[in-house]
Structure 1
Amino acid sequence: MNIEIIPHTLVGSVNAVASKSHAHRLLIAAALSKRPPAISIGTTSRDIEATRTCLQQLRKEIPVLDCGESGSTLRFLLPVAMALKERAVFLGSGRLPQRPISPLKEEMEAHGCTFINKHRKKGEAREICEIRGRLQGGIFTLPGNISSQYITGLLYALPLLKENSRIQITTPLESRGYVDLTLDVLKKFRIQIYTAEKEGCPTYMIEGRQQYLPPGDMEAEGDWSNIAFWVIAGILSRDSGIICNGIDPQSIQGDRAILNLARRMGGKVTEKGHSILVMSDSLRSTHIDASAIPDLVPILAVAASTAKGVTHIHNAHRLRIKESDRLAAMYDCLSRVGANIKEEPGGLLIEGVPQLKGGTVSGYNDHRIVMAMTVASIVSDSPIIIEGAEAVNKSYPTFFEDFEALGGEYRVL
C-alpha cells in the first residue's frame, strides 16, 4: 500500500497501544505456567500474534514455530523451545531469516542443541533452522552489545532446566531496559534470578527446577516505543499540543526516555497520572547516545531534521540488523525530503533545516520507518509519499487511524 501524506499540524489526544515488548514477555511467562493466567492485551499486532501462535505450537511434540517477521519471538523462543522439546523447527518471513542468531546459536550448541540450517521455503515463510537436542544448563557467555533478546530468551528458559545456570555478560550491557523489563516480569511470576555486576557487565545466576507461578490475571502496559511517535509529533506541532494517554510513568520500559529527550530538544512535557501533554516553542539539537534506546532512533532523526544546530546520534550500530538497516533507511528517506543528514558507521549526523520538502520514500518494509516518515510530514512544505505503508501492521495496525484522528490527512494511492 502506497500512501500520500498531506502536511498538517496535529492536535488532540491519542491512547497508547499495548506494549509489544511487555506483551511478548507476559504471554511467554503465562504459557510456561502450570495454570496460565489470562493476559489482557488492549491492541494486538502481527508480532504479538506471532508469539501467541508459536506458544500454541509448543504444545505439540515437534513444534513448527512460524515467527513471522518478529525478531523478539524468534530469539526469545529459541532457548525456551529447546528447554521443553527434543526437536523444533523455526520459520520466518521478510528479513527475519537473514537476521543473526549468533552468538546465541553457538551457546545453545555448547549446551546440548544441534542446529540444522536448510533454508527451505514453506508457503510464505522460510525455514530459519531446525534444532535437535534438549538445552542443558551451565555457564552461558554473551557480549552485552549484540542483542538483549538473547539474554531474555535464556532468562526464560534456564529456570526450567534440571541444572543451575549462569549467564555471564562479557561487555557493558546495552539495551539494559529490555532486560530489566524481563526481570520484572519473571519476578512477578516468582522466578528468582540473582544478579551480580562488575564494570557494567552483569552476571545472572539462575537456579534450575523453578516453576512459573503467576500472581493472577495481568494486563500489558501501554507502549512507550510507539507513543514516542506522538511525543515527537507534539513537539513538531509546536503550540498545538498532543495528549498521550494510557502510559505508565513508572514503567521499566527503556523507551520512556523519550520524555527526557523531548525536553532536551525543547519540548514542553506536562505529566499527569497516566497522561502527558507535549508541545514546544522551538526545537534545538542535542547529543544522543542510542545504545539503550535503538527503537527511538528513526523518530529522533525526524525531530533532529528541523532542530536548530547539529544533532549527533551515535552508538546505534545495531540498527543495521533490524527489520531494515535503519541507519541507511533514515539517511535515504530524510535525504529525499530535504534533510541535511550524514550517515556514519554507527549513527547519524543531522544539521537542522528550516523545513523539509515533499518527496517519495520507501517504507523499507519497516514499521518504524513508515511511522517516522509519516510524522515528518508535519514539518514538510508539500506531501510525502510512502511506499509500503502497510508495514505498520507489524506493531501498530491502527497507526493511521490515530494519525487521522489527530488531524492528519492521507490518501491511499
Structure 2
Amino acid sequence: MSHSAPARPLSIAASGPLVGTLTVPGDKSISHRSLMFAGLAVGESRISGLLEGEDVLATAGAMRAMGAQVERTADGVWQVHGVGVGGLLQPQVALDMGNSGTSTRLLMGLVASHAITATFIGDASLSKRPMARVTEPLSRMGASFTTAPGERLPLTMRGLCPAVPIDYTLPVASAQVKSAVLLAGLNTPGITRVIEPVPTRDHSERMLRGFGAQLTVEETPQGRMIAITGEAELRAQNIEVPGDPSSAGFWMVAASVVPGSDVTIRNVLMNPTRIGLVTALRMMGASIDELAQRDVGGEPVADLRVRHAALTAIEVPPDLAPSMIDEYPILFVAAAFARGTTVARGAHELRVKESDRIAAMAAALGLAGVRVSEHEDGLSIEGRDGDPLPGTRDARVASLLDHRIAMSMAVAGMHARAAVTIDDAAPIATSYPAFVDTARALGALPQWMNR
C-alpha cells in the first residue's frame, strides 16, 4: 500500500438527474475502531458492514501483525479473535498504513502502553503528515519515538509497560489524538484523562463502553473530560457498522445540485458529532429528509432522502468544523452552485489532511471555472446560482493522492458543461471502492481514461 500505483484519470460530465436508492460503505471511523477494540477483547467478535477500503484493511493487517486473528468470512462478516488488553505481540514487519492517518495515530496509542517496538510506514501522502500532536502526549506516558524530519513517517516507537497515566488537554480539536491517548490508557494503571475544549466525534467513547471499558464523560469548565480506567478487560462484541456520513455527503451534495435529482441513502450514521454537513446544507436550503430513524449498536441511524433544491450561500459557523472536518471539500462544491458567496472559515485542520485541502480545492474549483478566495483557515466561494460549472476542458484537476478531493470534484463534474477530469482517482479506493459504480447506477457517466 505504501508503494506508488499507476495513476487512474477519471472524467465526469453532466448527464441528467440522479435518481435511485443506495447504501454507502460502512463508517470508516467505526470500522477502524471495531477492528482495534475487537483485537484487544477476550473472545470472538463479529463485525458486519465493515468498510473494506484500503485504509481499514491497513488496520486489519496491523492487528494481525500484532497477534489478533482477523478473518473475513464468505458472507462478508469479519471475525476477530482478540489477544486481550496488554496482549499485543511484537510485530515482525513494519506496519504499512498506506494512506490512513486514522490507523497510524490510533495504533500508535495502542502500542504506547505495550512493551513492544513498532515501525509505521505509509504512502507518499501519509508520509507528509505531521505526527507530533500524537507523539507529544504519548511521550508523556512513557513511549519513545524515532521519526523522519518534522515528526513524520517512517516512524519507530517503543512502548512502555506499565505506562504513566496523564491528564491531557487537547490543544487542537482532534478525535484521533483524543482516541490515541484513551487507547494508551487502556493498558495503563490508574486513570487517564483527556479534556477536549471543543467536542469531537465520540465513537471511541461509545464503543469502548460497549466493549466493557470503565469510561466516564463529564462536562467541566475546561471542557468535556473523558476518563478511562486502565488495565481493562474488554469483552467480545457483535458489531453492525452503519453507513459512513462522510461518504453519504457526496450524494447529498450531488442530489442537491443536479436538477431533477431524487436520491435516498440508506442506513446513514447520524451521530450528532458527525452531521455538521447535514446542518450546513440545510442552512443553505437543501432538501434532506430523515426517514426510519433508529438506533444501531448505540449509534443513531436514519435513511436520508435528498432532492434537488436551490442553494443559498451562507457563512459557515466555525463551531461546525469538528463535526464536518472531512466534509469541507464536498461542502465547497455545494457552495460553488449556491446563490451568493459562501464563506467557510475556522478549518485550519484542513491544511494537514491527506493533502492541504484548502489549497487543493481552491485550485481544483478555480480550474473548473469557480471564483475562489483562499484564507489561512478556509475559502470564500462565489456560487453560480445553480448554473453548471464550465468544467476543466483539456486541464486535469490534481487530486494530490487525496480520495476526498477526487470524489468532490467528480461530484462537481455531474453538473458541468464540459467534463471535469481528475488526474488520478485511484485513491478513491481508500474509503469508497464502489464510488464510480454507484455514480453510474444513479445515472451519472464517469469514465476511466487512459493515462
- By the TM > 0.5 criterion, same fold? yes
Name the amino acid aligned to 1:407: G
**How many angstroms apart in 2 are the aligned matches of 1:118 and 1:244?**
42
**How many angstroms apart in 1 are the aligned matches of 2:252 and 2:162?**
43
Q: Which residue of 2 aligns with 1:217?
A: 238
Higher mean C-alpha deviation, range 53-62 or range 357-366: 53-62
Q: Which residue of 1 aligns with 2:328?
A: 297
2:305 aligned with 1:277: yes
Q: What are the Cα deviations for residues 230-275 of structure 1, in whole angstroms up to 9, with x where unaligned?
A: 0111111233211111224xx3263333333222212112222142
Higher mean C-alpha deviation, range 155-164 or range 252-261: 252-261
Q: Is there any run of 5+ residues in structure 1 with no aligned partner, and where?
A: 120-124
Match for 1:327 among 358, 373, 379?
358
Aligned-partner SS, 1:38 = strand
Q: Which residue of 1 aligns with 2:179?
A: 152
Q: Which residue of 1 aligns with 2:55?
A: 47
Aligned-partner SS, 2:161 = coil
Match for 1:79 among 87, 109, 116?
109
Name the amino acid aligned to 2:220: K
Match for 1:69 among 96, 99, 103?
99
Aligned-partner SS, 2:410 = helix
Residue 342 of structure 1 and its aligned partner are, at CA, apart by: 0.6
2:13 aligned with 1:6: yes
Residue 160 of structure 1 and its aligned partner are, at CA, apart by: 1.9
CA contact (8 A) 1:144 1:201 kept: no
Name the amino acid aligned to 1:271: E
Match for 1:138 among 160, 165, 173?
165
Higher mean C-alpha deviation, range 108-117 or range 316-325: 108-117
Runs of 4 or more consecutive aligned structure 1 residues displaced over 6 Å after TM superposition = none
Residue 365 of structure 1 and its aligned partner are, at CA, apart by: 0.7
**How many angstroms apart in 1 are the aligned matches of 2:353 and 2:133?**
16
CA contact (8 A) 2:343 2:379 kept: yes
Residue 144 of structure 1 and its aligned partner are, at CA, apart by: 4.3
- Structure 1 19/380 Cα, relative in aligned 2: closer, same or farther at 3 Å? same
**How many angstroms apart in 2 are the aligned matches of 1:191 and 1:18?**
24
2:173 aligned with 1:173: no
Q: Which residue of 1 aligns with 2:425?
A: 389
Alignment of 1:113-128 (within 5 A): 113-117=143-147, 127-128=154-155
- Structure 1 133/396 Cα, relative in aligned 2: closer, same or farther at 3 Å? same
2:261 aligned with 1:231: no
Alignment of 1:80-99 (within 5 A): 80-99=110-129
Residue 43 of structure 1 and its aligned partner are, at CA, apart by: 4.1
Name the amino acid aligned to 2:407: M
**How many angstroms apart in 2 are the aligned matches of 1:229 and 1:189?**
32
Aligned-partner SS, 1:381 = coil
Q: Which residue of 2 aligns with 1:122?
A: none
Q: Which residue of 2 aligns with 1:378?
A: 414
Q: What are the Cα deviations for residues 145-165 of structure 1, in whole angstroms up to 9, with x where unaligned?
A: 253201112212312222332
Q: What are the Cα deviations for residues 201-257 of structure 1, in whole angstroms up to 9, with x where unaligned?
A: 22222222211123x321211111100100111111233211111224xx3263333
Name the amino acid aligned to 2:10: I
Match for 2:391 among 336, 358, 362?
358
TM-score (structure 1 length as normaliser): 0.91
Give the structure with the larger helix fraction.
1
Q: What are the Cα deviations for residues 102-157 of structure 1, in whole angstroms up to 9, with x where unaligned?
A: 232122222222212258xxxxx962233354361322424242532011122123
**How many angstroms apart in 2 are the aligned matches of 1:118 and 1:380?**
42
- Structure 1 80/134 Cα, relative in aligned 2: closer, same or farther at 3 Å? same
CA contact (8 A) 1:79 1:135 kept: no
**How many angstroms apart in 2 are the aligned matches of 1:220 and 1:58?**
23
**How many angstroms apart in 2 are the aligned matches of 1:211 and 1:364?**
42
**How many angstroms apart in 1 are the aligned matches of 2:362 and 2:148?**
35
- Structure 1 88/134 Cα, relative in aligned 2: closer, same or farther at 3 Å? farther
Residue 200 of structure 1 and its aligned partner are, at CA, apart by: 5.7
Name the amino acid aligned to 2:90: E
Q: What are the Cα deviations for residues 56-84 of structure 1, in whole angstroms up to 9, with x where unaligned?
A: 11124245322111000011010201222
- Structure 1 200/349 Cα, relative in aligned 2: closer, same or farther at 3 Å? farther
Q: Which residue of 1 aligns with 2:140?
A: 110
Matched residues, number: 400
Q: What are the Cα deviations for residues 12-49 of structure 1, in whole angstroms up to 9, with x where unaligned?
A: 22212111111011111101101131112354100000
TM-score (structure 2 length as normaliser): 0.84
**How many angstroms apart in 2 are the aligned matches of 1:43 and 1:84?**
27
CA contact (8 A) 1:118 1:129 kept: no
Higher mean C-alpha deviation, range 227-236 or range 37-46: 37-46
**Aligned-residue identity in percent:** 28
CA contact (8 A) 1:32 1:212 kept: yes
- Structure 1 200/348 Cα, relative in aligned 2: closer, same or farther at 3 Å? farther
Give the superposed CA RMSD. 2.0
CA contact (8 A) 1:8 1:377 kept: no
Higher mean C-alpha deviation, range 129-138 or range 276-285: 129-138
